Every structure is written in C-alpha cells, then in structure tokens.
A and B are shown apart, each in its own frame.
Chain A
Amino acid sequence: MDSKSYRLREFINPADGRSLVVDASAGLVLGPLPGLEHFAEAMRPISHLVDGIVASSGQARNFTGRTRTDAALLVRADWTNALRGPDFVLPPETISHIPLLNPSDALDLGASAVVLYFLLGHEEQIEANCMRTTVQLALQGSQVGMPLVVDVQPVGPRVVLRDKAIELGVSYALEGGADGVAVPWPGRASLEMILKMSTGIPVWIKPTSLEAVESELAEALSLGAAGLWLDGRLFSWPDPLGVLETLRAKVHKLISVE
C-alpha cells in the first residue's frame, strides 16, 4: 500500500469502503454562507460525525487541534466563479478557473487529499485547463502521495444532456488521474455506468436536495458508491447535526438503509 492509499483511508472507512464528506470550502467562492459564518465553530460539532471536511487553504489553517475521532482534512485546490449565479452580488461575466495550490502545499497543511473542480459546459479553454490541472495535480500527487478528488461540475450553459455530461466529467477525471470523484446525482442508469467505469475508484454522490438525500443515498450505496458528498447547503438545512447523524448511520450501516 502506498502513501496515497494511506491518506485515502483517513476519510474512507477501510472497514466498509464508505465515506461521508462535507464540502465547506464554498466561502472561497460565495462568501459567508448561512451557518458557515464562523468556520471553526461550524466544524467543531460536525467533525466527529463525518469522515472528511473540505476546506479552503485559509480555513484549513484554522482547522487545528483535530483528534483521531475528528474528520480528515481535504483542501480545495482551486477557485472558480462558475458557481456564482446571476443573482450573486458579483455575477460572473466571464468564467474563470484558477488553480491555487499543489499537492505539496496540501501536504504542508496536513491534508489527506486535494479537491479540484472539473467544470463542464463553459468555454473550451476552461475545460482544457481543467484537464491539464487534473493531470498535473494527479502526477504531482503521486510523487508526494497526495490523493486527488475531482468534483465534477456540469454547470455551464452548453450542457445539453446532464447525465451524459456527468459521465463525461467522470471519464475525464479518471483519464486525468483522479483518485476519487464527487458527482451530482446522475440518475440510476448513469450512476451504474459511472461505477462500472470507475473500477474501484471511490465515487461520492452529491444529493439533489434535502428531500431527496436519503433515497438517492440508498440507491447509490446499493449500486456501490462510496457515500455522500454534501456541500455548503447543509448548513442552511434545518437541524444539520440531526441530518448528519442520520446520514452517517446510513452510510456506515449503523442502522438499516431501509
């Protein structure tokens, strides 16, 4: 087993191969989200309920004093304005995507993985740069044993077939060298295709909504997905701690999925 595998096991339970991750890095793009105004305070109560927390490099420095029961740290390696909608205070006129740190930086931060957006549906150059950054982070990560998780974002205006775009994003991520992928819920048929394609590479599902999360999780786990990847919306849901406890139990089979 190499050092990459060791780090993957820090946020994927080796006993069941499953994982519950919260991506709390959205402040870098969207500013202070409801419930995430104070990062360290928001993370403290959830840290023992989840397997991994994704943070920006700045917040990662505040995520200290973790014990063995706390979640592993994954760091966001890039920035984009593509996730800002037209109602955002600074609506994007042109889409940008910028790599911010490399696997060695993540190692310095004590991270267990780096996380990178893969944007689909924008200008050709954006996609090409995503591919180059994926390959570069994967290659550099393999030198220092730092896993790369690719967060597939089929959000651009040119996406015609969303489920097929998600499949394409996963294919690109895998061909680029990703060690794990997080995808929006693509539907059962596409997820089957994605899991077949990923051949043992962990796949996290990003649920459509609070209402759909349990059914999508149950279906995803039954097909072989690694678990759930929740974004900053979690903190605006009613009783996020209660939701996390329930989801944790289901991801790790502490209670029956049914």
Chain B
Amino acid sequence: MYLGLQARLDRLFNRHGDGRAVCVAADHGYMSDVTPNVVNLRPITTAVIQGGVDGILLSPGQAMRLAPFFQGRDGPALILRADWMNMPRLGTSNVANAVPQRLLWHQKVVTAGQALDLGASAITIYLFLGYNDRIEATGIEVCARFVSECHQVGLPCIIEPLAYGGQVTGANSVEILTLGARMAVEMGADALKIPYTGDVDTFHHLVDVSQVPVLVLGGARSDNERDALELFAEGLEAGASGCLMGRNVTKSPDPQRLVEQLCGIAHKGWPVERAMRTEEWTYLKLKAHPAKCTGCMLCVTACVASHDSGAYGNHLARLRIDPGVKTGQHKVMFCTLCKKCLDVCPTEALRWHPENGAVELLVDKCTACDKCVEICPTEVIVHSDAGIQIASGETLDWYPVVCDMCGGEPECAIICPTDAIFVAERKELA
C-alpha cells in the first residue's frame, strides 16, 4: 500500500532526484469562467510538457481526454482535481460572471479509486477556512475521507488550504493559512498546495510546521513575469518543494518558456536573473568596462564569499582589482579563458569544464608544479590555503585555485553595482 504511495510521490517530486516539482494547474475550466487558457488547453498542455513540467493538475474530464500526454516514463505526473467548488464565480466583482453564485459550494466529485483508474499520481482537494463554520466542517470531513480513501489505494493526497471569506482579513490571513497547513497535515495530507504568504519568514514558518512537501501556488496572473519567478524563488528559499502555478503559466504568452524558467530555478538552482535571460549561453566570457570600475572590491569579496565562506581576507579571490597607479584608473583582472594554463600544464590537470566552459582543475592529476600560476597573464590563479590528499595517496601542499565562472552565474558580474564587469558573450572553446 505505502509502496504505491511513495512511488507516486516520487513520480511527482523526484523526477530530477532533488525532491522538487514544478507543476502547472490547468483545471480552471472546471470552476471558473471560460477564459482563453481554458479554451486553448491542449496547446497549453503541449507547451508546458515541452518546457519540462513535472506535474499537471487537471479536471477528471480533461484527464480522460488528455491521457496520452501523461504516458511513458518521461511524461509528467497527473494530478487530479477530485473536488469541485464555485468560489471564482461568487459575488458581483467579476463583471464577466454569466451565472453569479451567492453561496460557496464545495463537494467531493470523484473517489480515490477512480483517480487511480485515470492514472493519477496524486489528487488535490480544497480546505476552505474563514468562510463559515459549515464550510470548514464540510471541508474537514471531505479531506479526512479523501485521505483515508487515498491511503487505502496508495495515492498521495495533496490538500490545498485556502483562506477565503468574511472571517479573513489582511491581518490574519497568514495565521489562517498556517493553521490550515497544519490542520491538513494532521488529517494526513501527503503534500500541500498553498498560497505564498508574502514573505520568506512567514512562509518558512508555514513550511516548518507542515513537515510535508509544500507546493507554492501562483495566484492570479501577474502582468510581470518576473513577479511569478520571484515568488517561486522566495518560496523555495523558504523551504517549499516546488510550485503549482496556474494562470501565471496558462495565461502566459509563452507557457513553455515560463515553465523552463521555473524548472531552471527549481532544478538547476538558477537565480531569477538567470531564468529571465532569453539567450542560452553555454560558455561564458567575462568582460570589463575599466572606466566604470570604482575599485569598491565588491566583486572580489563576492567571489570569496561564494566559494570560500570560511576564508579570511580576499587572497583566495579568482579575480583582482589592479589599483591603476600608473593610469589613474582601476582595472578588473579576471580569467580571460586565454588557455595558457591549459597548454602549460604537464599533466593535463586543467581542462575546459564540459558544461560551462570555464577552466576546471582535475585535482587528482595536479602535481602543484606552479606553472599555471606563473603563466597566468592576469595573475588570477592563486595557491589554495590548505593542502589536499589526492587519489594516488599523495598530499599536495597546495593546489591552484581557478575561476569556475560560478557554474555559469559569475557572482562578480551579478554584484557589480556599476556593471564594470559583466558576462558579455558566448565563448567558443579553442
């Protein structure tokens, strides 16, 4: 029983081996008005799958219709919307509301067994808090029954606490969400889908008291794509295991790209800046505007901090600032990928990194001969503080510290306040 549960959780959260999942909610046609994202569901589904999405939330009908999209080991996980509610159509604020609703209505629609028959890897259900006592009690009853049914058939149950109704204010919404998260977990939820609380600290607390994977939901579509990415990045920083973005993706002019960006943030550790970059740079090269350099040394400090957080001083920096005594102008000295160190190395301990094109040291081949340090024209290859034992059993007193381009996101370029050093172009390997 629990093997099935874990296998399905893994299909959702462990496709990349990192316990994270980028999911898209495409169940809006099931509950809200007909909008373009509802009408164009099939091409949107195709696009988000091409973007590398890990899971897609669908209504039962669309799950049947779009079943071929989920087939195969590489297919995304199907998350099934197992309940129905009319919240998006409540009230008069929505002028496009064709059939306005007066009361919140929430009910169970399918069983866990039926979800399993459809090939679902998980189901999602709402838990409304803050509307009235009857809705809360109904929600608890529905959630508890679903959890029980799901666990009997080995299907993960994702509960989605929502703070909605007259009892919810700006002041108590975070507290209600945290309450809902904990209640859901106490009922046996295997994961949560929950709105971002607005800041890292409160969301971290929510994640901390939940102790199950938490998926951040995106909420209403933001006009600015960056907002969605930053929300997600903050959610991850707070400990979330991924996202279940709906309208931000399905209403995006380019859903595939947005999913690629979300996947980059979740699975490759990209900062938002990298995710926003449109051009794919495989190999990077740093450049400088010497006239813009103020000699503030932030780049040097950032370099040390990002590589050697325990080091004292800046002597291990992979770049340096020439004070420009003769010219009266600071000059940033960094690795120019000139290849001289690679050519001079007698043991081929230095090579191009196969992914980011920076210089890479294969320390087990190194003999600490010092030739690379001596030949570096910009003098940015330095001796390490400590020695190291290599595979042969020998101990090197030191090894050369080389610029690794921070794995593709050079901290020096990111932090420079005047853009005196920047990632300029693609480097063609010699």
Contact = CB atoms under 8 A, between A and B. Distances in A.
Interface in A175-206: 175-178, 193, 196-197, 199, 201
A197 B39 contact: yes
Contact of A160 (B30, B59, B86, B98): B98
Interface in B38-55: 38-42
Contacts of B27: 175
A135 B60 contact: yes
**Size band of the interface chain A makes with B:** 35 or more
Contacts of A151: none
Given A164-B33, A168-B33, A175-B29, A199 B42 contact: yes
Contacts of A84: none
The prevalent SS among residues of A at the interface is helix
Contact of B99 (A142, A156, A170, A201): A156
Nearest to A126: B105
A161 interface: yes
B167 interface: no
**Size band of the interface chain B makes with A:** 35 or more
Contacts of A171: 29-30, 34, 38
A132 interface: yes
A158 B61 CA distance: 26
A10 interface: no
A138 interface: yes
Nearest to A140: B114
Pick from B30, B34, B101 the residue with the most CB of A within 10 Å.
Answer: B34
Interface stretch (A89-97, A117-125, A228-236): A117-125
Nearest to A170: B34
A173 B64 CA distance: 13
Contacts of B33: 164, 168
Given A160-B97, A168-B99, A197-B39, A135 B34 contact: no
B394 interface: no
Contacts of B197: none
A176 B101 contact: no
11 contacts: A124-B104, A132-B84, A138-B64, A139-B118, A156-B99, A171-B30, A175-B60, A176-B61, A177-B61, A177-B65, A199-B41
Given A127-B99, A177-B61, 14 more contacts: A131-B30, A134-B61, A139-B114, A139-B118, A159-B98, A160-B98, A162-B98, A168-B34, A171-B34, A175-B59, A193-B39, A197-B38, A197-B39, A197-B41
